[in-house]
Structure 1
């Protein structure tokens, strides 16, 4: 679907024909195998072969790295087959047969980086354990930097320099999380081009949806970079056995916490989006276009920002005026303090809601 081409009208946000509830078993099986392959296997092999055998350290890590990433390798070639086969229903909309989606391009680049990292860490007679422990933090750094950079370019007004999945070259730079969701669900989740089209319809028609994805992308990519840096500091500080263990476990712990925060956050935002459409505030800016300046109803993140001063006692005390000013400015309080100052101040987010309320409905 191209920008500016309006699909049929909806009384609520255009639906996404995909449900995780019907795929719970498949998702559980995949993630169980993935965690065993990426978390359990390297740790078990390392601790058993390193401390319970007489194998050289170089051979130990040769075995560990050789057995690593079987699920990821299978997934890589499975995606490649799905995208390239003649009758593919998973490739990006209006893309050539030879065109990879954005996720697979990054999948390829990050695998090349990890291959160099693992080879450099295991070739020496005495392996560089800390470098091998950096595999998952490196993935966090890569995707965090790529996704955050894409959204910075988007907010700066840059156009897509090449096709980014279903977003044509020359269009407004899409928020990176939109491209990630589109590719993973369409190819790995089996949603196909039907899902790509439905997601693009939702993305272009709902400024609120675009804003939610932008905020969520900043949350994940920013958190990924910050915590990857913290994990790196830990890995190069503690002893090698502890560094290897933490390097392969801490990223999973972080991802678990971020997922637990994300689920209720997204559910709340989707309810707010639906409510905004019901109140004829779902549209804003240029209709059916990725208009980054389009006004939206207040998102969950903005509501938390507005409520934050009233939740933090030190901020509340700073913004609140004394009920009875001291005559001589005792305790550092000036008698000229404004008695009418309101705690928490006034947020201009409400002004955004006001704009959205006045936005005409889609013609």
Structure 2
């Protein structure tokens, strides 16, 4: 029985050899350090140095920005090492040694943007407090715009203009969340190329899985842009101390809320995907191909699709009726 026949005969989607449950401690440790470094540290330094010392405002913000993002800098060079080393098992599938994954390319670009933003904001004798408060909203604007653009292009039928991680040039534009999961788990989570291959197998084999990721990406990317716009309006409206505090705290509040919504949503859809495969409705369209119009069972979001605004047609891929069970 060849690979395609085995995929058709399978009663469950191709498995993903990675579990977050066995990594709870390391995940909790990383996010604790990240929150302290990115949220606690700038706020504590700002409020204590600004109001409890005689340091100049310029020096206060020089200290704040110099101490900012230590864990992110470490993560950046850790990823770079893992992707570039000679015996790397983390780089994208079939990619050259010199090829960075899509997440790292965007990681580099956003760091350059933030560096310019922080320099412009802290160089004057009287720093632009509101501009420094825009660091996290800027990240939200950037990744939200990039990721939403990829899925709009996907919905419009465009092909990948260059290699996007493990997706070759000229292939169907991948949904951005698939690329993000692939890159982060493979490199930062230690899943390596084994995970990249397994995730790609699942992604190409399951139209339901692709549809779920497409919708989830629209939820996160679209939400990040809208919330970043709201935070920007607040930052440039309220007093500077409040603006600085809210500019650094509201993005975390948004991310926490979106995560709380996402977890049961994804768990529900993964159950629906498994049920669809057991009914032999998990596959459709051209086998082992990223067919945007492939039929699949309805996702959780599509149960409410009649309530979705008609002016955002890219929020979901074209829906075709599920294929009939094979005999």
The TM-score with structure 2 as length reference comes to 0.94
Give the structure 1 partner of residue 205 of structure 2: 205
> Aligned residue pairs: how many?
315
**Post-superposition CA distance 1:294-342 (Å, at most 9, x none):** 1111100011335x59xxxxxxxxxxxxxxxxxxxxxxxxxxxxxxxxx
Give the structure 1 partner of residue 322 of structure 2: 356
Give the Å deviation of 1:258. Answer: 0.1
Give the structure 2 partner of residue 26 of structure 1: 26
Give the Å deviation of 1:8. Answer: 4.3
Q: Secondary structure at the match of 2:322?
A: helix
Give the structure 1 partner of residue 311 of structure 2: none
Give the Å deviation of 1:11. Answer: 2.1
**Post-superposition CA distance 1:168-225 (Å, at most 9, x none):** 0000000000000000000000000000000000000000000000000000000000
Conservation of the 8 A alpha-carbon contact between 1:117 and 1:132: yes
CA distance in 2, matches of 1:180, 1:360: 34
Unpaired runs of 5+ residues, structure 1, are 310-348
Give the Å deviation of 1:287. Answer: 0.9
1:17-56 paired onto structure 2 within 5 Å = 17-56=17-56
**Post-superposition CA distance 1:20-61 (Å, at most 9, x none):** 000000000000000000000000000000000000000000
Conservation of the 8 A alpha-carbon contact between 1:172 and 1:290: yes
Give the structure 2 partner of residue 243 of structure 1: 243
Conservation of the 8 A alpha-carbon contact between 2:159 and 2:171: yes
CA distance in 1, matches of 2:79, 2:276: 37
Give the structure 1 partner of residue 116 of structure 2: 116
Give the structure 1 partner of residue 178 of structure 2: 178
CA distance in 2, matches of 1:7, 1:109: 43
Conservation of the 8 A alpha-carbon contact between 1:90 and 1:191: yes
CA distance in 2, matches of 1:8, 1:193: 22
Give the structure 1 partner of residue 65 of structure 2: 65
CA distance in 2, matches of 1:255, 1:195: 25
Give the Å deviation of 1:360. Answer: 4.4
CA distance in 2, matches of 1:204, 1:147: 19
**Post-superposition CA distance 1:244-294 (Å, at most 9, x none):** 000000000000000000000000000000000000100111111000011
CA distance in 2, matches of 1:7, 1:82: 36
Give the structure 1 partner of residue 296 of structure 2: 296
Q: Secondary structure at the match of 2:265?
A: helix
Give the Å deviation of 1:358. Answer: 1.7
Conservation of the 8 A alpha-carbon contact between 2:296 and 2:323: no
Conservation of the 8 A alpha-carbon contact between 1:121 and 1:131: yes
Kindly indicate whether residue 131 of structure 2 is the aligned counterpart of residue 131 of structure 1. Answer: yes
In the superposition, relative to structure 1, how do residues 303 and 154 fare at CA in structure 2: closer, same or farther (>3 Å)? same
Give the structure 1 partner of residue 163 of structure 2: 163
Conservation of the 8 A alpha-carbon contact between 1:284 and 1:359: no
CA distance in 2, matches of 1:279, 1:157: 29
In the superposition, relative to structure 1, how do residues 7 and 202 fare at CA in structure 2: closer, same or farther (>3 Å)? farther
Give the Å deviation of 1:6. Answer: 4.0
Q: Secondary structure at the match of 1:93?
A: coil
CA distance in 1, matches of 2:224, 2:172: 25
Give the Å deviation of 1:359. Answer: 5.8
CA distance in 1, matches of 2:4, 2:210: 17
CA distance in 2, matches of 1:79, 1:217: 23
* Structure having the higher Rg: 1
Query: What is the root-mean-square deviation of aligned Cα atoms in Å?
Result: 1.7
CA distance in 1, matches of 2:6, 2:47: 59
In the superposition, relative to structure 1, how do residues 6 and 90 fare at CA in structure 2: closer, same or farther (>3 Å)? farther
Give the structure 2 partner of residue 152 of structure 1: 152
Give the structure 1 partner of residue 313 of structure 2: none
Give the structure 2 partner of residue 275 of structure 1: 275
Conservation of the 8 A alpha-carbon contact between 1:7 and 1:201: no
Q: Secondary structure at the match of 2:124?
A: coil
CA distance in 2, matches of 1:11, 1:86: 39
Unpaired runs of 5+ residues, structure 2, are 309-315
